[in-house]
């Protein structure tokens, strides 16, 4: 029905329903134009979808926010048209670059070495690895105070057992066989003498059990006394100390590092 026919029908029925509003025809004309635009828009959208064109490209004039690679379903489309558009894909969650995953964590950690809780003293084998001279026996050096000597862990606590008027304190090397490894302390000199035991050697290789020929080769200025069966030799590298070497049957029986002018005996 065109506008002329519509006007005729309205005037024909005016006697039955009364006079229509003055702007009724304008309202009806606007409504028909709006319906035509809606139908044209739906047809255009369907055509775009059928042609495979992403809807985001066709709606550029409306918004530039949606990237061309994503399809969006406008809220104003009827359900029949909206069914052509699949729901947006959900991106898989990603792990931040600074997040530690289980594979980054080592399965086991290397054990941490801890000191022995038993407090066991060093064995004689540890002393055997030490060298007597030119200053002492390992960390135990001549001239130390009693507390310094005991702190090395190589000597037993000193006992007040005078060996002379000035040499009042006696100890022994921990782990040394009975009767060997004596350490004497002088009020004038501090630790004044250290006796070796089997296995402990001088830097030149002399130890208890060495032959006198070996001693003479190691120390050319060695001058033994057959009367007292011992002799003294300056310590190479330390002019204040000497080795006191006792012997029997052509072999070394005692080996002591001491001050050249000690006050503990003789």
Q: Are residues 236 and 128 in the same domain?
A: yes
Q: Are residues 74 and 18 in the same domain?
A: yes
* Domain assignment of residue 194, yes or no: yes
Q: Are residues 34 and 141 in the same domain?
A: no
> Which of the 8 DSSP states describes residue 225?
B
Number of residues written out for the chain? 266
- Rounded to whole angstroms, the Cα distance separating 260 from 263 reads 10
10, 126, 219 from 199: Cα distances, Å: 135, 10, 19
Domain edge (last residue) among 67, 82, 97: 82
Query: What is the pLDDT averaged over residues 54-66?
Result: 46
* Domain assignment of residue 89, yes or no: no
* Domain assignment of residue 266, yes or no: no
Give the chain's domain count: 2
Q: Are residues 27 and 151 in the same domain?
A: no
pLDDT above 70 coverage of the chain, percent:
55
Which range has highest mean pLDDT (49-63, 78-92, 251-265)?
A: 251-265
Of 15-29, 157-171, 208-222, the one with minimum mean pLDDT is: 15-29
Judge whether residue 156 has pLDDT over 90: yes
Confidence at 94, pLDDT banded by 50, 70, 90: low
Domain edge (last residue) among 82, 107, 142: 82
Q: Are residues 139 and 33 in the same domain?
A: no
- Evaluate the CA torsion angle 70, 71, 74, 79 in order and state its sign: negative
Q: Are residues 65 and 139 in the same domain?
A: no
Domain interval for residue 148: 124-259
Mean pLDDT over the full length of the chain: 75
* Domain assignment of residue 99, yes or no: no
Prediction pTM value: 0.54
Residue of higher predicted confidence among 80 and 19: 19
Angle of the 3-12 helix axis to the 24-50 helix axis, nearest 10: 140
């Amino acid at each position: 029905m065109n506008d002329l026919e519509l006007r005729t029908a309205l005037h024909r029925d005016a006697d039955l329903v009364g006079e229509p509003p003055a702007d009724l025809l304008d309202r009806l004309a606007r409504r028909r134009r709006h319906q035509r635009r809606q139908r044209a828009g739906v047809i255009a959208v369907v055509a775009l979808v059928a042609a495979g064109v992403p809807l985001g490209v066709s709606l550029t004039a409306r918004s530039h926010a949606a990237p061309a690679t994503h399809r969006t379903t406008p809220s104003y489309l009827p359900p029949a048209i909206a069914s052509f558009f699949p729901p947006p894909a959900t991106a898989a969650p990603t792990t931040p670059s600074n997040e530690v995953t289980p594979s980054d964590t080592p399965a086991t950690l290397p054990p941490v070495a801890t000191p022995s809780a038993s407090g066991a003293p060093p064995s004689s084998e540890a002393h055997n690895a030490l060298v007597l001279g030119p200053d002492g026996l390992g960390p135990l050096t001549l001239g130390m105070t009693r507390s310094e000597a005991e702190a090395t862990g190589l000597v037993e606590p000193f006992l007040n057992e005078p060996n002379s008027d000035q040499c009042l304190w006696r100890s022994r090397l921990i782990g040394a066989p009975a009767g060997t490894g004596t350490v004497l302390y002088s009020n004038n000199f501090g630790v004044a003498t250290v006796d070796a035991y089997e296995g402990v050697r001088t830097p030149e290789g002399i130890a208890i059990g060495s032959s006198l020929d070996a001693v003479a080769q190691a120390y050319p200025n060695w001058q033994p006394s057959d009367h007292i069966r011992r002799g003294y030799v300056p310590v190479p590298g330390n002019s204040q100390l000497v080795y006191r070497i006792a012997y029997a049957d052509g072999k070394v029986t005692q080996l002591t590092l001491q001050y050249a002018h000690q006050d503990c005996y003789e």
